[in-house]
A and B are shown apart, each in its own frame.
Chain A
Amino acid sequence: MTLFLSIAIIALIYVVIFQIAKASEYVSILKGEEASRKQNNKINGFLMVAFLVLGFIGIYVCNKAYYSKTLLAQGAASVQGEKVDQMLWITLIITGIVFVITQFLLFWFAYKYQESDNRKSFFFAHSTKLELIWTAIPAITLTVLVIFGLRNWFFFTGEPPKNAMVVEVTGKQFGWIFRYPGKDAIFGKKYYKNIDPATNSVGIIWDDNYSQDDILTEQTMYVVKGQPVKLIIGSRDVVHDVGLTHFRLKMDAVPGIPTTMWFTPKYTTKEMREKTNNPNFAYEISCDQMCGNGHYSMKGIIEVVEQEEYDLWMAKQKPQYFVAFPEKDPSAVKADGAAKTDSTAKAATAKM
Chain B
Amino acid sequence: MSHEAVLHGHESHGHDDHGHHEHHDTFLTKYVFSQDHKMIAKQFLITGMVWAVLGGLMSVLFRLQLGYPDASFPWLESILGKWAKGGQITPEAYYALVTTHGTVLVFFVLTAGLSGTFANFLIPLQIGARDMASPFMNMLSYWFFFSASIVMLSSLFVETGPFSGGWTAYPPLSALHDASPGSKTGMDLWIIAMALFVVSSLLGGLNYIATILNMRTKGMSMTRLPLSIWALFFTAVLGVLSFPVLLSGLILLIFDRNFGTSFYLSDIFVNGVGALSNEGGSAILFQHLFWFLGHPEVYIILLPAMGMVSEILSVNSRKPIFGYMAMLGSLFAIAVLAFLVWAHHMFVTGLNPFLGSVFVLLTLLIAVPSAIKVFNWLTTLWRGNIRFTPGMLFAIGFVSLFISGGLTGIWLGNAALDIHLHDTYFVIAHFHIVMGVASMFGMFAGVYHWFPKMYGRYLNNSLGYIHFWVTIAGAYMIFWPMHYEGLAGMPRRYFDFSIWESFKQFADLNRFISTVSMIVFAVQILFLINFFYSIFKGRKVTVQNPWESNTLEWTAPINPGHGNWPGEIPEVHRWPYDYGKDGHDFIPQTTPVGADETDTH
CB of B348 within 8 A of CB of A250, answer yes
Note all chain B residues with C-beta closer than 8 A to A125. Answer: 320, 322-324, 577, 600-601
Note all chain B residues with C-beta closer than 8 A to A257. Answer: 266, 282-284, 350
A203 to B267, CA, bound (A): 10
Contact with B along A88-123 (1 / 0, CB 8 A): 100100110011001101110110011110011111
Q: Does A142 contact B (CB under 8 A)?
A: yes
Cβ 8 A contact of B509, one of A44, A66, A109:
A66
Chain A residues numbered 297-335 whose CB sits less than 8 Å from any CB in chain B = 297, 299
CB of B400 within 8 A of CB of A294, answer no
Contact with B along A181-199 (1 / 0, CB 8 A): 0000000000011010100
Note all chain B residues with C-beta closer than 8 A to A122. Answer: 319, 382-384, 580
Note all chain B residues with C-beta closer than 8 A to A127. Answer: 322-323
Contact with A along B26-37 (1 / 0, CB 8 A): 000000000000
Closest to B415 in A: A153
Give chain A nearest CB distance to B524 CB in angstroms: 12
Closest to B74 in A: A3
- Residue of B365, B420, B500 ringed by the most chain A CB atoms within 10 A: B420
Note all chain B residues with C-beta closer than 8 A to A70. Answer: 484, 487-488
CB of A25 within 8 A of CB of B462, answer yes
Give chain A nearest CB distance to B36 CB in angstroms: 30
Note all chain A residues with C-beta closer than 8 A to B526. Answer: 14, 17-18
Q: Does B515 contact A (CB under 8 A)?
A: no
A153 to B91, CA, bound (A): 36
CB of B381 within 8 A of CB of A146, answer no
A241 to B579, CA, bound (A): 54
A35 to B481, CA, bound (A): 40
Note all chain A residues with C-beta closer than 8 A to B502. Answer: 245-246, 282, 284, 286
Closest to B505 in A: A69
Q: Does B95 contact A (CB under 8 A)?
A: yes
Q: Does B473 contact A (CB under 8 A)?
A: yes
CB of B269 within 8 A of CB of A195, answer yes
CB of A14 within 8 A of CB of B529, answer yes
A14 to B467, CA, bound (A): 12
- Residue of B92, B379, B417 ringed by the most chain A CB atoms within 10 A: B417
Note all chain A residues with C-beta closer than 8 A to B281. Answer: 256
Closest to B583 in A: A120
CB of A296 within 8 A of CB of B496, answer yes
Note all chain B residues with C-beta closer than 8 A to A67. Answer: 484
CB of A102 within 8 A of CB of B323, answer no
CB of B481 within 8 A of CB of A66, answer yes
Note all chain A residues with C-beta closer than 8 A to B503. Answer: 286
A65 to B357, CA, bound (A): 36
Note all chain A residues with C-beta closer than 8 A to B378. Answer: 102, 105-106, 109
Note all chain B residues with C-beta closer than 8 A to A163. Answer: none
Q: Does B411 contact A (CB under 8 A)?
A: yes
Note all chain A residues with C-beta closer than 8 A to B72. Answer: none
Give chain A nearest CB distance to B518 CB in angstroms: 11
CB of A126 within 8 A of CB of B179, answer no
CB of B460 within 8 A of CB of A290, answer no
CB of A44 within 8 A of CB of B403, answer no
- Residue of A25, A48, A125 ringed by the most chain B CB atoms within 10 A: A125
A43 to B465, CA, bound (A): 10
Contact with B along A55-87 (1 / 0, CB 8 A): 100110010001101111000000001011001
CB of A134 within 8 A of CB of B372, answer yes
A84-B420, A237-B179 as given contacts; A25 in contact with B539, CB under 8 Å: yes
Q: Does A12 contact B (CB under 8 A)?
A: no
Give chain A nearest CB distance to B501 CB in angstroms: 5
A-B contact number at CB 8 A:
380
Give chain B nearest CB distance to A63 CB in angstroms: 8
Chain B residues numbered 300-323 whose CB sits less than 8 Å from any CB in chain A = 317-320, 322-323
A18 to B386, CA, bound (A): 27
A203 to B179, CA, bound (A): 19
CB of B539 within 8 A of CB of A29, answer yes
Name which of B109-117, B162-170, B200-208 contacts chain A: B162-170
A62 to B512, CA, bound (A): 12
Chain B residues numbered 379-431 whose CB sits less than 8 Å from any CB in chain A = 379, 381-388, 393, 396, 399-400, 403-404, 407-408, 410-411, 414-417, 419-420, 422-424
CB of A123 within 8 A of CB of B487, answer no
Contact with A along B264-288 (1 / 0, CB 8 A): 0111111100010001111110000
A62-B481, A156-B419, A237-B270 as given contacts; A293 in contact with B322, CB under 8 Å: no
Q: Does B343 contact A (CB under 8 A)?
A: no
CB of B500 within 8 A of CB of A286, answer yes
CB of A238 within 8 A of CB of B179, answer yes
Note all chain B residues with C-beta closer than 8 A to A137. Answer: 371
Contact with A along B478-519 (1 / 0, CB 8 A): 001100100111011111110111110110010000000000
A18-B463, A238-B173, A255-B266 as given contacts; A173 in contact with B385, CB under 8 Å: no
Q: Does A130 contact B (CB under 8 A)?
A: yes
- Residue of A130, A293, A294 ringed by the most chain B CB atoms within 10 A: A293
CB of A193 within 8 A of CB of B348, answer no
Cβ 8 A contact of A87, one of B75, B417, B492:
B417
Closest to A126 in B: B323
CB of B319 within 8 A of CB of A123, answer yes
A105 to B381, CA, bound (A): 9
CB of B480 within 8 A of CB of A41, answer no
Closest to B586 in A: A121
Cβ 8 A contact of A173, one of B179, B473, B500:
B179
A121 to B372, CA, bound (A): 22
CB of B367 within 8 A of CB of A131, answer no
A289-B423, A292-B180 as given contacts; A126 in contact with B491, CB under 8 Å: no
Cβ 8 A contact of B385, one of A95, A120, A150:
A120
A69 to B502, CA, bound (A): 9
CB of A139 within 8 A of CB of B368, answer yes
- Residue of A14, A48, A243 ringed by the most chain B CB atoms within 10 A: A243
A131 to B529, CA, bound (A): 43
A284-B500, A292-B179 as given contacts; A255 in contact with B319, CB under 8 Å: no
A91-B410, A290-B170 as given contacts; A84 in contact with B417, CB under 8 Å: yes
Note all chain A residues with C-beta closer than 8 A to B387. Answer: 37, 41, 115
| 28 CB-based A-B contacts, threshold 8 Å | A14-B526, A22-B460, A83-B416, A91-B414, A102-B378, A109-B382, A114-B388, A134-B371, A142-B367, A148-B416, A149-B415, A150-B360, A153-B357, A153-B360, A153-B415, A192-B275, A193-B275, A239-B170, A245-B420, A245-B502, A248-B489, A260-B350, A288-B422, A292-B173, A294-B91, A295-B95, A296-B495, A297-B496
Knowing that A124-B320, A290-B168 touch, tell me 15 more A-B residue pairs with CB under 8 angstroms: A21-B462, A40-B461, A44-B393, A122-B383, A124-B322, A126-B322, A135-B368, A139-B368, A150-B360, A150-B416, A153-B356, A158-B353, A238-B172, A281-B501, A289-B170
Residues of B within 8 A of A (CB): 75, 91-92, 95, 164-166, 168, 170-173, 176, 179-181, 265-271, 275, 279-284, 317-320, 322-326, 348-350, 353, 356-357, 360-361, 364-365, 367-368, 371-372, 374-379, 381-388, 393, 396, 399-400, 403-404, 407-408, 410-411, 414-417, 419-420, 422-424, 460-463, 465-466, 469, 472-473, 476-477, 480-481, 484, 487-489, 491-497, 499-503, 505-506, 509, 522, 525-526, 529-530, 533, 539, 577, 579-583, 600-601
